[in-house]
Amino acid sequence: MNLKVKNALISVANKENLISLLKALKKFNINIISSGGTYNSIKKLGYQCTELSKYTGFKEMLDGRVKTLHPKIHAGILHDRQNKKHKNEMYKQNFPAIDLIIVNFYPFQKIVLNIKNPNQIIENIDIGGPTLVRAAAKNFKNVTIVTNRNDYRSLIKELENLKGKTSLKFRELMSSKAFGLTAYYDAMIANWFNKKLKIEFPERKTIFGRKLQKLRYGENPHQQSSLYVNDYDDEQLGFNQVHGKELSYNNYSDMFASLEILDTLKKNSGTVIIKHTNPCGVSENKIPIISFKNAYASDPISAFGGVIACNYRINKKIANEITKNFLEVILAKGFDNESLKILKRKKNLRIIDISNFKLKRLASIKIFDGSFLIQSKDNIVLDRKKLKCVTKLKPTKKELAEIKFAFNVCKYVKSNAIVLCNNFSTIGIGAGQPSRLDSCKIAIQKAKQFQSSKIKYSIAASDAFFPFADGMNALIKAGVKTIIQPGGSIRDQEVINAANKAKIKMFFTGVRHFNH
């Protein structure tokens, strides 16, 4: 049913794009009610407007906390135009109908980003705005609610096409958007309180998100997908694409995986190569070009069409190395002019500047049908109190640093995970196998295929304990001289005995790193 719009209430924190809207309302003789800053803005733009306090006969109070919370306003919005009782009550009270509500809220999320004072943040929790929105959205059969200035154009088009009226279909669409906004707004506030009170797992958990981009498709072409931002700063992700094709669902998935690992490489220039969310090459070195080459050498075949993330600035020399191979995405902390000229020759290569990106390390979430799992991030690598050298041979200082590097990489590999390292670079990775022995075999096979000379005296990291000595024996036979694993198996002594017999070093961490 198409309904004529006679009276509109406008109360917006963001005054952008008001002029085009006001022109349309004037064209169709729609009366405007407003208050505060919105009222002043409308008057300055040269349009007629009734001040809210004059409309209700009640001055705002409590420093503006009570303005629109008035029966004349809410009855005007909520009454059912087809209900005789409602119509009689409205007539007796002399309350006109309000047919259009245009509201956006106090900028709570921007205040949270810029202000630390809790009292100021609480003052920017909008009460009147969400109440108006919910009332109008509930009564969409009779009232049009617009909560986003990007929808002003759609409203104007609706009024133009229907000569000052709105359709039920349009009102219902705007209602769905309105309830989405109030849920989003309340979720942000609830999450702020949870964070303030250090409540990690509240009784009710709402995950808020703003759609940043509709993606071409999901993991496969027949799947639909979109990218959402779950942050108070919900208009960007903190990195900047400077060249290349539009990023896909799989690109983002691999990029997020690469940034997780890259954030842990703090001491030297770090390079991470990801394929299908698994690392296939990770390296740290004082010299960026060496770090890049070592990471690539770990598994150059798997790196084909992968994502590379670097915690250093890309120069001409590294850019030339990058262009020797096919890659989907390169992320780095800046690119000099020469490197950009070289990289941009690859038309489809996505070039991402992560200079301003900061990982927040929030909880991880897995969704399944009508439920979801939440867990804190796996932020521990080694617990020094639990770390034990369980073999007769003891480690050097450098070996201790390198076992930490290997075990750190291991926690980002899909379980069961085995990672072989030499001189702070991966040389073989076995990922995602139901059998730990199979993961050992894959890691060995990769190392033999690409860097056989580095297997001797290499370090092997396992994300969980060895249930039998078979996997460990395969690693020892290949040339591994140091093994790091959580320990905790009923056959630990059997494994320790095998390590001592082979004269290798082995560490128990007491920390498991499953990554399902």
Q: Do residues 12 and 102 touch, judged by C-beta distance below 8 A?
A: yes
CA distance 423 to 235: 41
Mean pLDDT of 260-272: 94
Preceding peptide of 416 cis, ω within 30°: yes
Selection from 142, 157, 130 nearest residue 20 by Cα: 157
State both tokens at 312: 């250093």
pLDDT bucket at 172, cuts 50 / 70 / 90: very high
Residue 137 banded pLDDT, cuts 50, 70, 90: very high
Sequence ranges of the domains in the chain: 3-196, 238-353, 388-508
The residues, any chain, with a CB within 8 Å of residue 234's CB and separated by 6 or more, are 109, 209, 210, 212
Q: Are 485 and 508 in contact (CB under 8 A)?
A: yes
Radius of gyration of the chain (CA): 30
Active site residue 276: yes
State residue 363's pLDDT score. Answer: 86
- Model confidence at 99: pLDDT above 80: yes
Residues 362-389 have pLDDT tens digits of 888 988 988 989 998 888 888 878 889 9
Predicted TM-score (pTM) of the model is 0.88
- Per-residue pLDDT at 125 exceeds 80: yes
Q: Per the residue annotation, which of 276, 293, 344, 448 is the catalytic one?
A: 276
3-state helix, strand, coil in the chain (%, to 5): 40, 20, 40
CA 233 remoteness from chain centre: 11
pLDDT for the residue numbered 421: 97
Q: What is the pLDDT of residues 487-508, one digit of tens each?
A: 999 999 999 999 999 999 999 9
Distance between CA atoms of residues 278 and 413, nearest Å: 6
Tens of pLDDT, residue by residue over 307-353, are 999 999 999 999 999 999 999 999 999 999 999 999 999 999 999 99
- Topology of domain 388-508 in CATH is Cytidine Deaminase; domain 2 (3.40.140)
Fold of 3-196: Rossmann fold (3.40.50)
Q: Could you read off the pLDDT of 424-446 as tens digits, one per residue?
A: 999 999 999 999 999 999 999 99
222 annotated active-site: no
> For 238-247, how does the pLDDT look when each residue is reduced to its tens digit (9 = 90+)?
899 999 999 9
| Res. 187 pLDDT band, cuts 50 70 90 | very high
User: Does 388-508 match 3-196 at the fold level?
Assistant: no
Q: Please give the average per-residue pLDDT across 406-417, as a whole number.
A: 95
pLDDT of 197 higher than 80 = yes
The answer to whether 99 and 3 have CB atoms below 8 angstroms apart is yes
The DSSP secondary structure of 441-479, one letter per residue, reads HHHHHHHHHHHGGGSTTEEEEESS--SSSHHHHHHHHHT
The CATH number of the structural domain formed by 238-353 is 3.40.140.20
Helices 288-298 and 436-451, interaxial angle, to 10°? Answer: 120
pLDDT value, residue 118: 86
* pLDDT computed for residue 61 by the predictor: 65
The span from the CA of 67 to the CA of 366, in Å, is 42
Q: Assess whether pLDDT exceeds 80 at residue 168.
A: yes
Sequence-distant (6+) residues with CB within 8 A of 402 are 421, 423, 424, 459, 482
Q: What is the pLDDT of residue 63?
A: 67
- Spatial CA neighbour of 39 closest among 56, 53, 57: 53
Exactly one of 74, 138, 205, 245 is catalytic; name it: 138
Could you tell me what percent of the chain has a pLDDT over 70? 99
For residue 269, what are the CA distances in angstroms to 359, 498, 501?
18, 36, 37
pLDDT at 146 exceeding the cut of 80: yes
Mean pLDDT over each residue of the chain, to the nearest integer: 91
Query: In Å, what is the CA distance from 516 to each residue of 145, 363, 487?
Result: 44, 15, 19
Report, as an integer, the average pLDDT of 268-276: 96
Residues 48-82 have pLDDT tens digits of 898 888 888 777 767 667 777 788 888 889 888 88
What pLDDT, on a 0 to 100 scale, did the predictor assign at position 143? 95
